[in-house]
Amino acid sequence: MLRLRPFKLCDAPYLLQWFQDEKSFTMWSANKFTYPLTMEQLIEYKNRFDEDPNAWIFVALDEDGTPVGHFSMRNADYEKRSIHLGFIVVDTTYRGKGYGKEMVSLAIQYATEILKMTRVTLGVFANNEAAHNCYKSIGMIDEEFHPAFFDYKDEKWDLYDMAYIKE
């Protein structure tokens, strides 16, 4: 069972350990951070989100209160009742055990029940099949496909724009 709470700087040391290589880090950050991730980058990230009234950072805690996941919500649009999820990651030791599915489900629940949003969006690279399948399994749909959207070294990564629509 996971629970969500706002991200605090005391959570940063956990997040710093969750990226084992540059490629998986880039799938998470889409070049919004530089590899390797540092405490200074996380402090700047938190400060930027703290200044934005339409954005929040969350951490997912396991039953013992240990951070095992992280994501952000941004671009809250109360007129259109829409919000965007990003920077979704689960501790490498917990991947493949349903934590990502539970965490994103809780994020959607928070967005729809607490913030009263009817639309929750995110972007996922097509080569991140595990994440793409995770999001589909909780009811997100592919809305738009962007071929060769992102350059990573000598590769071109495709991107799916996905959405959860509350009826």
Give the pLDDT confidence score for residue 161 in this predicted structure.
98
Cα end-to-end span (Å), the chain: 26
Tokens 């501790």 locate to 91
pLDDT for residue 137: 98
Q: Domains (ranges, CATH) in the chain?
A: 3-122 (3.40.630.30)
Over its length of 167 residues, how does the chain's per-residue pLDDT go in tens digits? 999 999 999 999 999 999 999 999 999 999 999 999 999 999 999 999 999 999 999 999 999 999 999 999 999 999 999 999 999 999 999 999 999 999 999 999 999 999 999 999 999 999 999 999 999 999 999 999 999 999 999 999 999 999 999 98
Query: How many residues make up the chain in this entry?
Result: 167
Alpha carbon 128 to its chain centroid, in Å, reads 13
Q: With DSSP H G I counted as helix, E B as strand and the rest as coil, what are the percentages for the chain, rounded to 5? A: 35, 35, 30
Contact indicator for 85, 122 with CB cutoff of 8 Å: yes
> What's residue 42's pLDDT?
98
**Separation between Cα atoms, residue 91 and residue 14, nearest integer Å:** 8
For residue 167, what pLDDT is reported?
A: 85
Supply the pTM of this predicted model: 0.97
Would you state the pLDDT for residue 94? 94
The reported pLDDT for the residue numbered 3 is 98
Listed in sequence order, the residues at least 6 apart from 101 whose beta carbon sits closer than 8 Å to its beta carbon are: 134, 137, 138
